Every structure is written in structure tokens, then in C-alpha cells.
Structure 1
Amino acid sequence: MTALAKLTHVELKLLVREPGSVFTFLIPLFILIVFGSSIEPGDTVLLPMSLAISVGLVAMYLLPTTLATYRERGILRRLSLTPVRPGSLLAVQLVLQFVLALAAAGLLIAVGGPVLGAHLPSEVPALAAVFLLGTAAMFAVGLLIAALAPNGRSANGVGVLLYFPMAFLAGLMQPTDQMPDILAEVGSYTPLGAFRQSLQDVWTGTSPTPLLLGVMAAYAVIVSLAAARFFRWE
């Protein structure tokens, strides 16, 4: 087994044991089941909302907390003295966190569609493109938090402080049509808001708005570059 394969195996075991990984499954699933019991068949709102919540939890809680904790404990610095460079750990973490978000999304779709009767989109390529762009945009924010936070506790706190206002503006706590127009407009240009709206567009059978796709792509590129600029290995 190569050093990279061993690293992936170890990180996977640690991720599975991490309580936060469980919550990224349970919280959106709980919301879906509780509110899904009263939705009408063919609902196109609750399932995309649950997917956005799930990806947001991975990106803004689990990812930055893990990376900032590794730096705080000197793990990244020690890796620099081994054949497995710190960048390899970062790449493995990004892949595993994406797989976690994908698995959580798969569980939500499996429960929301066949079990609760929520509508499922027929345009799989559009769904895949929106999911990839939205996840990339949210992960970029998580990486920036990890880059700037001095330790795991502060990364956790900053992630939570950012997540809840962003979730509110994105329409995950209150439907955007019940919000003041200015708040709904601002929320649509946040990475989570653009992600949630684009998912809902796919669910309703309409093409995602190019502007919102561009918003997510811009966050993914610009914020990732900022995270790379400020990221410290020790």
C-alpha cells in the first residue's frame, strides 16, 4: 500500500468516527422527515433545501474545523518532514469531505423521493453540474475559514457564525417569498443562496439561471485563491 493510500485509509477512518460527520447526515434528514410528513406529493422545495443544508454543514463546520485542528496540533508541520506532503493531506480531506457530502445527498434523495414522495428531477446532468458548482463554492468558503482561523475551536465558531446568517438569507430558514425583497435579493448572491435556488430550479424542471451559476463559479475560484494565499501549514 502506498503512503497516499495509507493516508487516505487513516483519514477515512477518522472521518467516519468524527461525530460531526454523523450530524451532517442526521440534521438534514431530521428536517426532511419532520417537514416531509406534511408536504404534498411532488414537492419541489424541501428536498433541494435539505441538500443545501447538508452541503453547508460539511463545508462550513466539518471541513474548516478538521483542517484548522490539524494545523493547531502540528500535524501539517510534521507531514512536511515525511514523503507524504501536507498538500496530500489537504487533497485527501477535500475528496473525502466531498464524498461525505455526496453520500448525505444520496441518502436525502433516497428518503425524500421513494419514501416521502417528493419530486425528483429528471435532468441528472443539470443536477450534477449544480451540485458540483455549489459544493465547490461552499468548500471554498470553508477553506478560507480554515486558512484564517488560528485553531479548530475558532474555525468551528466562525463557521457557525457565518452559516446561520447565510442559511437565513439563502431561504433555508424562511421561504424567500416571505422575506423582504432586499434580503431575498442579497441572499441569492451568497454561495448558499445561489446553490439553493439553482437546486430548486433543477427540481422544478427549469434551467438554472446562468447568473447564479456564475456566482457559484466566482466564489469557487476567487475564494479558493484567497484561501490558498492565506493558508498556513503551521
Structure 2
Amino acid sequence: MTKLTTVELKLLTREPGAVFTILIPLFILIVFGSSIGPGDTVLLPMTLAIAVGLVALYQLPTTLAAYRERGILRRLSATPVRPSGLLVVQLILQLVLALVTCGLLLAVAGTVLGAHVPAEIGTAAVVFLLGTAAMFAIGLLIAAVAANGRAANGVGVLLYFPMAYLAGLMQPVDQMPVILANVGEYTPLGAFRQALQEVWAGVSPSPLLLGVMAAYAVIVSLAAARFFRWE
């Protein structure tokens, strides 16, 4: 398992998509962060949600679907390294990628931009893990049903932009039609962004939002496990 993790880590660092998942939210943070005050509680949660969304809906499903398309998972079934081992390693590495990206965003926001960082680190960590689990579940479902890496990429992109809009990542929620803003709170990305924003504002995240994220994480993960094909 250690050797497999090392190999997969090297492959991930050479993947252009991994670089873009880091650079895009960082670019958004720097460009818009230079024009807001240090007490802002919107931009940093928004960029954190963008970062997790990119990893979950683009990087994760594309990688797993491409592995199945190339027959890598099928060939692993004939070796001591089971296909499930590769799946676990990929999930861990994609989580590390999300953590590194969000850590970089927090570092830049806190040092260069002087942005507000919440005092309740434990609550922020719980929200982050729930939101990431919900989004990763969506990515796993895409990987489960996509025929190949290109299809997974396309489905991920097609899902990302509507979800990002409904979540208030492309337009402020108070400028959206009320019905769309309400719907957005019940999407995994929307609940994630809203819960993060509440933590940044110094209030406890809504139990409803936490429940929405937990429900997506459990239900969609079960669906992904049900439909996942190793070859």
C-alpha cells in the first residue's frame, strides 16, 4: 500500500488538472481579495467551496473513470493490490489535494490579505469535512456511471457550473432570484458554502445545513458503491 501511495502521489503531482484546482481558487482570492476589507466573511468561504468543488467534480471522477477505462482496475484484481486499495488511496490523495489547496488559501488570505479567520477552528473543521464528504460522494457517483475519463470530465463540468451558481459562487445570493437562492441551500455545494460563511461570521452553522451535507454524503456514497464498476 505504501508503494502504491507513492506512485499515485507522483502521478497526481504531474497531473495538470491538479495544478489548476489550486491556481483557480487562489487567483479568485487574490483578484477579489485586494478590494475587500479584512472583516469580510464571504470571499474566503466562497473560494474554499470552489476549491473543494473542483477537486470533487473534476479531478476525482476523471482520474477514477480513466483508470477503469484503461483497464488498470481490472489488472489490479489479479495482483495482491486489490482495486479497492487503489480507490482508497485515490480518495486520500484527493482529500490531501483539497486540504493543501484550502490551506494555501487560508495562508494567503490570513497573511497577505489580512482576511478574517474564524476562532472556532473545530467547528470549521467539522463543516469542511462534511462538505468535502458530500462533494466527494457526488464525484464518486460520476466516476461510477461515466463510461470513460472524458465522459467523467464532461459530466463533472456540466454539474459544477449549475451547482456553483445555485450555491452563490458565481453571483451573490442576495442578487439571485429568491426561489433559486432557496434551492441552492439544499444542494451540497450550497449548504457547504453557507455553513462555512456562518462559521466565518462567528455563529453556529445551521443544523439543517449540516444535515443536508451529511445526507448527501451517505446517500450518494451508497449509490456510488451500488453502481461502481471495476471494469
Q: Which of 108, 128, 132 does residue 131 from structure 1 map onto?
A: 128
Distance in structure 2 (CA, Å) of the matches to 1:60 and 1:200: 21
Distance in structure 2 (CA, Å) of the matches to 1:160 and 1:32: 21
Question: What is the CA distance between 1:158 and its match in structure 2?
Answer: 0.2
2:17 match? 20
1:203 match? 200
Q: Deviations over 1:189-222 (max 9, x none)?
A: 0000000000000000000000000000000000
Give RMSD over aligned pairs: 0.4
1:56 paired with 2:47, answer: no
Question: What is the CA distance between 1:223 and its match in structure 2?
Answer: 0.1
Q: Please, which runs of 5 or more residues in structure 1 have no aligned partner?
A: none
Question: What is the CA distance between 1:15 and its match in structure 2?
Answer: 0.4
1:225 paired with 2:225, answer: no
1:191 match? 188
Distance in structure 1 (CA, Å) of the matches to 2:167 and 2:148: 28
1:120 match? 117
Partner letter of residue 6 of structure 1? K
Taking every aligned residue pair, what percent have the same amino acid on both sides?
81
Partner letter of residue 41 of structure 1? P
Q: Which of 42, 45, 49 does residue 39 from structure 2 map onto?
A: 42
Partner letter of residue 182 of structure 1? I
1:105 match? 102
1:70 match? 67
Give the secondary structure class of the aligned counterpart of 1:216.
Answer: helix
Q: Deviations over 1:17-42 (max 9, x none)?
A: 00011011100000000000101121
Distance in structure 2 (CA, Å) of the matches to 1:206 and 1:113: 20
Question: What is the CA distance between 1:185 and its match in structure 2?
Answer: 0.4
Distance in structure 1 (CA, Å) of the matches to 2:25 and 2:181: 22
User: How many positions carry a matched residue from both structures?
Assistant: 231
Question: What is the CA distance between 1:157 and its match in structure 2?
Answer: 0.2
TM-score, L = length of structure 2? 0.99
1:31 paired with 2:25, answer: no
Q: Please, which runs of 5 or more residues in structure 2 have no aligned partner?
A: none
Distance in structure 2 (CA, Å) of the matches to 1:49 and 1:218: 21
Distance in structure 1 (CA, Å) of the matches to 2:39 and 2:103: 18
Partner letter of residue 64 of structure 2? L
Partner letter of residue 93 of structure 2? L
1:214 match? 211
Q: Deviations over 1:138-177 (max 9, x none)?
A: 0000000000000000000000000000000000000101
Partner letter of residue 23 of structure 2? L
1:80 paired with 2:77, answer: yes
Partner letter of residue 154 of structure 2? G
Runs of 4+ deviating beyond 4 Å: none
Distance in structure 1 (CA, Å) of the matches to 2:64 and 2:31: 33
